[in-house]
Amino acid sequence: MPFIEIQDLTKQYGPSLYALRSVSATIERGEWVAVMGPSGSGKSTLLNILGCLDSPSEGKVSIEGKGLTLLPPGELARFRAEKVGFIFQQFHLVPYLTVVENVMLAQYFHSLAEEREAAEALRRVGLGDRLHHLPSQLSGGEQQRVCVARALINQPNLILADEPTGNLDEVNEAIVMSLLTDLHREGHTILMVTHDPEIGRMAERRLSLHHGRLTEEISTVAVEEHALADKLLQAVWRKQEDVGSGLVPAEKLPEFVANRATFLLMAQEGSITLEEGKIGFTGKGQRRSDELIRRHRLAERLFYETFALDEDHLHENALKLEPLWTPAVTEKICMFLHHPRTCPHGDPIPRGACCP
């Protein structure tokens, strides 16, 4: 039995206005699915129906085998409070309640409000020291983290997120996305609506809505991801060299904005650290990026010395040749060139195991 089963869901607002047309899909327990599509394509309508905030004109939704459309209103409300955690683009925090009270409010519908649990959820999202502040005293990113804590307080099976990073800058977006990554890893099922392809790539699977109709998108190819990750590791390495520090502020790296998802994936698989908007290497990432920079600068050196290519064309020629070099070939070339210490542009070449 699938965790969520959506069958022929239609939502009609007027004689010819359809928000959803005959949408069918299944979602397994523990999956992270992104619902993509342009504005007005029906994403929020679908999410709201799954969260029992809205009802379909036709069709069925069942969660854990339970048909939502058949539940009486009281049971529907209880189901929503116990099983579903919402994260919205607009934070929907109560302005005159403190942060910890806002989280307890969500809990109130479920069980006895317990401040200790609410505080624990807030600590988890890094807001342990802001419990008694009002929402207006928090930044947008911090308010969204309160919403994540609020969504978590009842330990819901299903997390529904509607453009959860829509109002955030890139750094806060990375923080919220890594919280979602942690939740996914712990086994929560996540259905996330976004129009941003970079955010959609974080999910395991992407569904696409166009004018209320659903199509499934194919996932990205792993090989391309690796080549891109290697390119980004080198960009971080060079920026470290540039700013003279091991931690590079994300906003100083032009590649960050266009490749946010890949950076988050790299953090997940343990080659970089991404904390408080600063990018650094782990041991593994340092080794890999040293190797890549070394290979590139040796390739430039080879073109410069052996083929007497002029300086302006070294970089592009090196890029064509170097992907073919295994670590053993790189060592041989380093020896052949007598272990040069700098590239033709004067930048240092990281030392290798063969170097004296």
For residue 128, give every residue at least 6 positions away whose Cβ sits within 8 Å of its Cβ, in sequence order, or none.
Answer: 119, 122
Q: Is 39 in the site for ligand ADP (CB under 6 A)?
A: yes
As to burial, measured by CB atoms within 10 angstroms (0-12 exposed, 13-18 middle, 19+ buried), residue 164 is: buried
As to burial, measured by CB atoms within 10 angstroms (0-12 exposed, 13-18 middle, 19+ buried), residue 269 is: exposed
Q: Distance between alpha carbon 174 and the CA centroid of its chain, in Å?
A: 7
CB of 200 to Mg ion, least distance (A): 14
Q: Round to whole Å and give the CA distance between 260 and 228.
A: 12
Helix (H, G, I), strand (E, B) or coil at 274: strand
With CB under 5 to 8 Å by kind, the binding choice for 42 among ligand ADP, Mg ion, none is ligand ADP
Q: Which part of the chain contacts ligand ADP (CB under 6 A), choosing from 37-45, 147-155, 238-246, 266-274? A: 37-45
Residue 45 or 330 having the CB closest to ligand ADP = 45
In angstroms, the first-to-last Cα distance of the chain is 63
Among 34, 36, 37, 117, binds ligand ADP (CB under 6 A): 37
CB of 56 to ligand ADP, least distance (A): 12
Residue 44 or 62 having the CB closest to Mg ion = 44
Q: Round to whole Å and give the CA distance between 216 and 200.
A: 13
With CB under 5 to 8 Å by kind, the binding choice for 19 among Mg ion, ligand ADP, none is ligand ADP
Q: Which of residues 40-99 bind ligand ADP (CB under 6 A)?
A: 40-45
The interface mask with Mg ion, positions 27-46, x = CB under 5 A, is -----------------x--
Q: Which of residues 136-195 bind ligand ADP (CB under 6 A)?
A: none
Contact in structure between 195 and 39 (CB atoms under 8 Å)? yes
Q: Is 21 in the site for ligand ADP (CB under 6 A)?
A: no
Return the structure tokens found at 255: 């590649």
Residue 23 or 266 having the CB closest to ligand ADP = 23
Q: Round to whole Å and give the CA distance between 141 and 91.
A: 10
**How big is the site for ligand ADP, counted in residues (CB under 6 A)?**
11
Q: Which of residues 42-71 bind Mg ion (CB under 5 A)?
A: 44
H or E element in which residue 293 lies: helix 283-306
Residue 12 or 273 having the CB closest to ligand ADP = 12
Q: Where along the sequence are the contacts to ligand ADP (CB under 6 A)?
A: 13, 17, 19, 37, 39-45
Q: Where along the sequence are the contacts to Mg ion (CB under 5 A)?
A: 44
